[in-house]
Each structure stands twice: as structure tokens, then as C-alpha cells.
Structure 1
Amino acid sequence: MMTASLVIGLICGVFAVGLNWSVHTLRHYITELELGWSSIFIPALGAGIAVYLVRSLIRDSAAHGVSDVIKAMALGSEILRRRMIHSRFIGSLLTVGTGGSTGLEGPIVSIGGAVGSALGRWMEMNERHKKLLVGYGAAGAVAGIFNAPLTGLIFSLEIIIGEWTYLTILPTIIAAVSATEISRFIMGNKIAFYQEIAGFSITSLLACFVLGALTGVISILFARSLQLWEKIFSKISETFWIRAAIGGLTVGAMGFFMPEVLSEGYEVTQSFLTNNIRPELGFVLLFVLIKFLACGITLGSGGIGGVFAPSLVIGSGVGLAFGMFLHLLPLDGVAEDAAFALAGMAGMVAGVMHGP
């Protein structure tokens, strides 16, 4: 199992780096074109082609990523077919790279799980060991794309595998660390986010109880909104790629007026965590609302991506707005806004993923 986890980690690290680099290269190229108002059609084109390729040619279901892997852990690893490796790679590249308001973490977790499942079948392992390999793949995928081995380890053990034993902990560490080393070797030692928080007072800690409840409610609304948008788009058309194209067109129109909501949105989150010059509270609230809608439309219409990145981005906006509101009140010792942006990210992800 140790050797298998090492191989899985190395493979997942390559896929994570390849997907991350490909998406951001495509996004940068499209941005440099300066298409003006015609740019609203780019997300529609990307989502439509992605869903047509995945649904009609590759014949993959293209769910929201992490849910597929969790289902495989419950119902059997054979759910994760080898075709998911290239279908999720191509689908998320076209969806997110052209501006679809979703993230890469869901697809890369599916890719990692499919790599582990495929290796388990090739080695003719029993179902128990194949499921463990799926978990190792998820750990390697998350660690590779975030350049954070501890993130991959905790995510896999808590969300995917669901147990902390000698058979899960050490191989998962190996997979996460090996994927991270591949990422650092190819892309350098870069981290997804960095922050400059000076301190956190007792008052701020108490306020985080309120922020946690707030992000918990928003995470419930976010999850239910995805189901609502799926029902709405299923009534618009029976053809999957047409639904995705209509959703992409809607998101493209939103992005024309507020480009920050397109794609992952990590640049905005980073600015929330570090910039000394803050946007107005009204802008932050508007950004959260439009990002919330854009992500729901992207995924509800069939776009290929995950909910992890949108949860981070929305959570950062909610937390920042919460911190800005606290500073309007006559309270002493309230931490800086960025501290609450970071706490909001944690609360939103925990609520959406059901894993503190």
C-alpha cells in the first residue's frame, strides 16, 4: 500500500499541476484578447463544448466532483471509471478556463479517485484496498493543486476515507507529500493564499460564533440553490450542452459587468486577505451575491467543476463584509477585516463539505 500510495501521489501531482497550469494559461490568453461585449459568449462556448464532449462523446455523468468520490466509497470503487480522468480534465479546463464560475478542486478530486480506482483494479486488489487507493488519490490531488500536503491529508481522511488508522494515515501522508513535491518541483513552492493577520482578540473570537452561524446558513442556501438551478435548467432544454451554453451565456453577461465573478475568483479572495485598501461594503456584498448566483448557474446548468473553490471565495467575501460591519459598531479589540475573511472561508467550506 505504501508503494501504491507513492505512485498515486506522483501521478496526481502531475495531473494537478497540468490542470491548474492549463486553466490559468487559457484564462490569461482569453483575457488578453480584450473582446469587449462579445466576451459574454466565451463562457457559453466553453461550457457548451465541454458538456458536449463529456456527455455525448466520452459519456461521463459529470457530477460536481467530490460527491462522485464519496459515492464510490459507499457503493463501490467501480463507479470511478478510467474515462473520468480525461473527461474531468478536459471538461473543467474548458468550463473554468473560459470563465465558468466554479472551481478545479472537485474535478481534480475525481481524477485522483479515478486514478486510485484504476490502479486498484489493475493490481487486482480487494474492494477494501481499492477504496483506500481512492482516498489516497483524493489526498494527492488536493495536496498537489493547493501545494499543501496537510490540506490533502485532512481532507481525504475526514471527507473521503472517514477513518484514522495505521492503514489510512501513513499511506495518505505519502500520497499527499509526493504530490506536493511534484507540484513544487514543476511550479515552485507557491501557496494558494497568504495573509497578514496581526492578531485575534477575545471579542473577535466571540464574533466568530456569529460568523460561523452565518456561513452555515449561507452554505445550506448555496447547496439548495444548486438543486434549484438544476431543476430550472432541466425545464429549459433536454439537451445537456444547450443547458450548459445558456448557463454560460448568463454567467458571461454577469462577468461583463463584474469580471471578478468569473472562473475561480482566487485573485479576489487574495485581495480580501491582504489589501490595505478595502472596497466599499456595498461592493463586497454585491460580489458575494453575484458570485453565489453565477456559481449556482454554472453548475446547475451542467458546467463541469466543483463547489470547493466557490465556497472559499464566497466565504471570504462574507467574512470580509462581516468584519467591515463589526468595525462600524462601538466595539473594542475587533480584529482586522482580513481575519474575518479567513474565518469566513473556513466556515463556508466546513458547511458545504460537512467537514469541520
Structure 2
Amino acid sequence: MKVNELLVKFLVWRIKHIDNRNFVLLLSGVIGALAGLAAVLLKQSVHLIHQALTLSFKTEYANYLYLSYPLIGILLTVLFAHFVLKEKLGHGVTDILYTISKKSSIIQRGKMYSRMITSALTVGFGGSVGLEAPIVVTGSAIGSNIGRLMHLNYKKRTILLGCGAAGAISAIFNAPIGGVIFCVEVILAEISIASFIPLLIASVFGSIVSLLLLGDDVLFSVKVTDLFKASDTPYYLMLGIVCGLASLYFTRATYWVEGKIGGIKKTYKRILIGGLLLGLIIFVLPPIYGEGYESIKALLSNNGSGFLNRSLFFSSGGSPYILLFFALAVFIAKPIASALTISSGGSGGVFAPSLFSGGVIGFCFAIGIQMLLGEPISVSNFTLVGMCGVMSGVLHAPLTAIFLIAEITGGYELFVPLMLVSAISYVTISYFEKHSIYTKHLVERGDLIQHDKDRQVLSLIDMNKIIETDLLTIEPTRSLGDLVELIKVSKRNVFPVVNDKGELMGIVTLDDIREVMFDEASQNNLTIKELMHSPPAVVSSYDSMATVMKKFEETHAWNLPVIDNGKYTGFISKSRIFNAYRNRLIRQHAE
């Protein structure tokens, strides 16, 4: 009780002394710092688990524990999620986008820590997913709940949610610009300059916390050693197309595997099948274990034997042909492994897997050019640019990919090829897939509308709140005289014809009976069944507003009946929708 009293006193003091704009700026710094702290804790937790499990592994031998570790990690994750959190895990960033679109940016308090625990278990035990999505969920939850605690409206709460996401990405990669761009490009569809400033502050504070606690020991960082050569431009053009097609494969493979494994209804059967298949893949292709950043560092330093560590192919001595074959197999298997991890119950995201796959495909491309044409191109540069290309395609976030790779390499030496490959990859995959791996299912379900203000406002209207139930119903066996009596007390000109089971048989309007309603013989002899007609269309309270409006446009009707599970519920009118639309616009403008 005392805590609530102190909070009320603080809020009253804040209203008197700090305006909303400056208060949001102050909160953005706090949220960025907390998100940065969460990122550090998660990274260190995964590092400790990973080290404890693999410390005794020999570099030159394959290890059979790889077969069991992922299964154990997924099982522990599912048990924790089911019995402690009582929630189902999935794609974290997708959940955040759904929360912004449909839940007024209100995230459950438990998500401020839950995804840190579940992802630490999953990735620590070798689940082939990334930490970025879980830490974005954590940071976003921190921002959302602080916004709720401070009684801020939807718009400001959404900005603070974005601040948490920006601070998290900034901290985990020590990439403040990348954190801001990721938030703007992926999390927040529309943002003004005034809203941009809090994101900058949060991202900077997230990066500062990471630097203070970890120094340069961030999740993934490298230094560019080779200069960009303009003569390599044709190869970068080709790499852009290859990355676009690789992104398409990554996306389609992920959807396919998640559909197959997710279709298994029994939870423990799904865990067993997914965990064992994942363990088998990791045993044959150890670089897929966990996030795989150490393996990418080996490729960047042209350390082929390091990439083959703990695999059945280590004894090959780093033969370029064996290495190329092995790397291609790793690329093909990575999205499958990531999808197995998530769909069988693990916690993580596709951010890191897309970077990993891009690095591998960039390496394979460079080695292939060297073998086929004998061109001495930089393997490390093409590996880095490949990371940018596939990330751009999978996430549909070309700017995020460019600035993130530029920042983690400590400079902008590769800025030109990064821009070129990112753009070409994005254009290539956009030809086949219009939406990112985060948004595809949401857009298909009508749960996310991007870059269409009209449909965005419509999606915020609650269908159940605008259904009209004041229309007087009549049974089909009644006479026209009975209907005339209803007309005397009704304020509407539409009468639903409903049988004793609650089913809609048809409708009668005043226009249908205008010529006969005052004729006594007709009143006694005509039944409603003879007068009624079918409505031009019906809708359900479960339909999206976009679907409802499409039916209104197709039928040119002003009123349509609402049918749920075969039963008549009420009517919805176009005028009621327009009124709700106008009120929603006024409310958004006020916020």
C-alpha cells in the first residue's frame, strides 16, 4: 500500500513539474539502461551454460553429447514455460508486433524476465537460434510496463516499448545506430522525429551499460582487415542475388519445418522428434550448435580447420573442397535446425541464424569464385557482406543489416558493398515474398497492417462493440399483421426472421412490404416466410474489419447480419462503423 501511495505522489509531482515530452526522454534513458543490463545478463548466462557443457569436448573428435544436449534444453524450456510461466513460446518479435497492433502495446509483466530464462536454457544447451529476439522481447516488456506504471497513453507506451527494443539490440552488439534502425525498420512502422529522439537516448544508454560491464566482449565483433576494391563490384552484384535467393530458401524452409513439427499435436512427441532431429544435425554439423558466432569468426579469419572443429570431417585437414562441401551443408541445415528448435518448444529467434547463414553463404561464394576463376578476392569481406545480404532479405530490413554489420566491424570500409548487396538481396526476395519472416503470418491473418493508415485504424475497431442487437426479430410462421404490430414499436426498418433455434432464416425490410402492409387481407393471409428474402451477405464477429468492409463494398448494403456458429447475433451497420472510425481517429490525434 505504501508503494502505491509513493507512486501516486510521484505521479502528481511529475505532472506538476515535468511535461510529458521531457518525462518520456528521461524514461527512455532508464529503459535503455535496464534493457542493456538484461542483455548483458542473458549473454553471460548463455556463455556460462555453454562453457560448462562443452569444456571437456576435444577439438579433434566428434562428441556424442551433441545428440542429447538440444533435446534436454528444449525439454527444460517447455517444462518451465508450461508449469511456471503458463504460456506458449514462439517468435518473439512477431509477438511484439502483434502486441503493438492488437493489444495496445501492453506486454505481460512476466516477459521482463521469462524469455531470458527460456532462451538461456534453449541456446545454452545448443538450440540453433539467437538471443536477439528474446532480449528484444525483454527490453520491450520493460518499456511497456514502465509506460503502464507511469500511466502513459498508447502512443507513448509504444515509444517506450521501442526504446526497450533499441536498447537491447544496441547492448548485445554494441551497435547503437543498428539498435535504433532495427527498432524503426522492424518494430515501429511509423515514427516521427519527436519519437526518434527517445530511441536514440535508449540505444546510447544500452550501449554504455554493455561497454561498462563487458568492455569490447560483445556478442559478435570483428575488424575489417582487407580494403574494398572497386574491381570486385561485379562479384558483389552476384552475391546480392545469391543472398536474396538464400534468404528465400531460409524463409521457405523455416515455414515448412515449423508447419510439419508444429502440426504434431502431442507436446512431448513434438519435443522428442524435434529435439532428436536437431541433435542429429548438430552432431554431424557442429557449427550449428547454439548461435554459431564462433564458427563465423573462424571463417572470417580463414581458419578452415576451426570451422571443422568437433566434426567428423576434422581429420580432413581443412581441404578446400571438403570445407566448401561442409559449409554448404551447414547453410542448408541451419534454417531447418532453427525451425526445429522453435517449433518443438525452444525459445529464440531467427535474427542470429540469418546472420550466420549469410556469413556461411558469403564464405562459400568467395571460395567458389577463387576455385573457379582464380580471383584473389577477400574471403572475410564477402563473408561479412553475405551476413548483411541474408539478414536484409530474411528480416526485410536492409538498413538494419547495413548499419549493424558496419558497426560490429568497427568502421565503414565496407559501406559501399554492404549497401549494394543489401539492396539487391532485398529486391530479389521481395519478388517472391512481400513480407518478412516476422510479419508474413500476421499480415495474412489481418493482425498487422503496415503502411496503410486507413486499414490500420479499421483494425483497431472492436467488432463486438459495434454489433447492434436492438433490431426486433420475428418468426417465419408469423403473419404480416404480426409484423405490422412490430413496426409500430420499432425504431428500425429491418426485421430479422429468426426461427425457434435462433437461426437466421432471412430478413424483411419496410420496402418489401410497403405496398401490402395496410391491406387487411394480406395482413391475415401472408406469412413472413413468403415475404422474407436472404441478406446480401453475412458476417461474423470473428471477421476482421477489413473483411467486413469488403463485404459492404461488394454488396452495396448498409446493414449486414452477424452470424456466429450458425446463430443470429445481431446486425452491423456501415454508419456505425464510420462513427467508430471517426472516434478512433479523434482519439489517436489526441494521443
> Where on the TM-score scale, by shorter chain, does this alignment land: which range?
over 0.9
Q: What residue in structure 1 maps to residue 194 of structure 2?
A: 167
2:319 maps to 1:304: no
Q: Aligned letter for 1:52?
A: L
- Counterparts of residues 230-241 of structure 1 (less than 5 Å): 230-239=258-267, 241=268
Q: What residue in structure 1 maps to residue 223 of structure 2?
A: 195
Give CA-to-partner distance per residue, 1:43-100, whole Å, 9 cap, x none. Answer: 1011011022113431223121111222223223445211122221111011000000
Q: What residue in structure 2 maps to residue 93 of structure 1?
A: 120
Counterpart-to-counterpart distance in 2, 1:354 and 1:155:
11
2:119 maps to 1:76: no
Displacement of 1:238 in angstroms is 2.4
Q: CA separation of 1:39/1:319 partners in 2, compared to 1, >3 Å: closer, same or farther?
A: closer
Q: What residue in structure 2 maps to residue 141 of structure 1?
A: 168
Name which of 193, 212, 223 aligns with 2:240: 212
SS at match of 1:327: helix
Q: Aligned letter for 1:283?
A: F
SS at match of 2:291: coil
Counterpart-to-counterpart distance in 1, 2:98 and 2:84:
24
Q: What residue in structure 2 maps to residue 352 of structure 1?
A: 394
Q: What residue in structure 1 maps to residue 54 of structure 2?
A: 31
Q: What residue in structure 1 maps to residue 150 of structure 2?
A: 123
Q: What residue in structure 1 maps to residue 332 of structure 2?
A: 289
**Residues 76, 127 of structure 1: 8 Å contact kept:** no
Counterpart-to-counterpart distance in 1, 2:301 and 2:56:
29
Q: CA separation of 1:94/1:242 partners in 2, compared to 1, >3 Å: closer, same or farther?
A: farther
Bigger proportion of residues as helix? 1
Counterpart-to-counterpart distance in 1, 2:118 and 2:88:
11
Displacement of 1:34 in angstroms is 4.4
SS at match of 1:62: coil
Q: CA separation of 1:224/1:52 partners in 2, compared to 1, >3 Å: closer, same or farther?
A: farther
Counterpart-to-counterpart distance in 2, 1:253 and 1:208:
35
Counterpart-to-counterpart distance in 2, 1:266 and 1:139:
21
Give CA-to-partner distance per residue, 1:309-346, whole Å, 9 cap, x none. Answer: 000111000001011111234376x6311111111100
Q: Aligned letter for 2:278?
A: V
**Residues 105, 157 of structure 2: 8 Å contact kept:** no
Q: CA separation of 1:232/1:327 partners in 2, compared to 1, >3 Å: closer, same or farther?
A: same
- Counterparts of residues 240-319 of structure 1 (less than 5 Å): 241-275=268-302, 279=318, 280-319=323-362
Displacement of 1:258 in angstroms is 2.5
Gaps of 5+ in 2: 1-23, 306-317, 399-591
Displacement of 1:273 in angstroms is 1.6
Higher normalized contact order (CA 8 Å, seq sep 6+, divided by chain length) = 1
Q: What residue in structure 2 maps to residue 43 of structure 1?
A: 70
Counterpart-to-counterpart distance in 2, 1:229 and 1:56:
26
Q: What residue in structure 2 maps to residue 8 of structure 1?
A: 31
Moved more, 166-175 or 318-327: 166-175
Q: Aligned letter for 2:250?
A: F
Q: CA separation of 1:33/1:277 partners in 2, compared to 1, >3 Å: closer, same or farther?
A: closer
Counterpart-to-counterpart distance in 2, 1:226 and 1:57:
28
Counterpart-to-counterpart distance in 2, 1:209 and 1:56:
51
Displacement of 1:218 in angstroms is 1.9
Q: CA separation of 1:242/1:95 partners in 2, compared to 1, >3 Å: closer, same or farther?
A: farther
Moved more, 7-16 or 321-330: 321-330
Counterpart-to-counterpart distance in 1, 2:82 and 2:395:
26
Q: Aligned letter for 2:370?
A: H
**Residues 85, 114 of structure 1: 8 Å contact kept:** yes
**Residues 105, 158 of structure 2: 8 Å contact kept:** no
Q: Aligned letter for 1:207?
A: Y
Counterpart-to-counterpart distance in 2, 1:131 and 1:266:
32
Displacement of 1:126 in angstroms is 0.7
2:358 maps to 1:335: no
Displacement of 1:295 in angstroms is 1.6
Displacement of 1:152 in angstroms is 0.7
Moved more, 302-311 or 194-203: 194-203
Give CA-to-partner distance per residue, 1:293-320, whole Å, 9 cap, x none. Answer: 2122212323110000000111000001
Q: Aligned letter for 2:388?
A: A
Displacement of 1:355 in angstroms is 0.9
Counterpart-to-counterpart distance in 2, 1:67 and 1:40:
30
Displacement of 1:164 in angstroms is 5.0
The root-mean-square deviation of aligned C-alpha atoms, in Å, is 2.0
SS at match of 1:236: coil
Moved more, 26-35 or 39-48: 26-35
**Residues 199, 335 of structure 1: 8 Å contact kept:** no
Give CA-to-partner distance per residue, 1:135-174, whole Å, 9 cap, x none. Answer: 1010001011112211111111221123453322221111
Q: Aligned letter for 1:28?
A: Q
Q: CA separation of 1:353/1:15 partners in 2, compared to 1, >3 Å: closer, same or farther?
A: same
Counterpart-to-counterpart distance in 1, 2:86 and 2:235:
48
Gaps of 5+ in 1: none
Q: What residue in structure 2 maps to residue 108 of structure 1?
A: 135
SS at match of 1:199: coil
TM-score, scaled to structure 1: 0.93
Q: Aligned letter for 1:123?
A: M
Q: Aligned letter for 2:347?
A: I
Bigger proportion of residues as strand? 2
Moved more, 174-183 or 267-276: 267-276
Give CA-to-partner distance per residue, 1:161-201, whole Å, 9 cap, x none. Answer: 23453322221111111111111111113342213342222
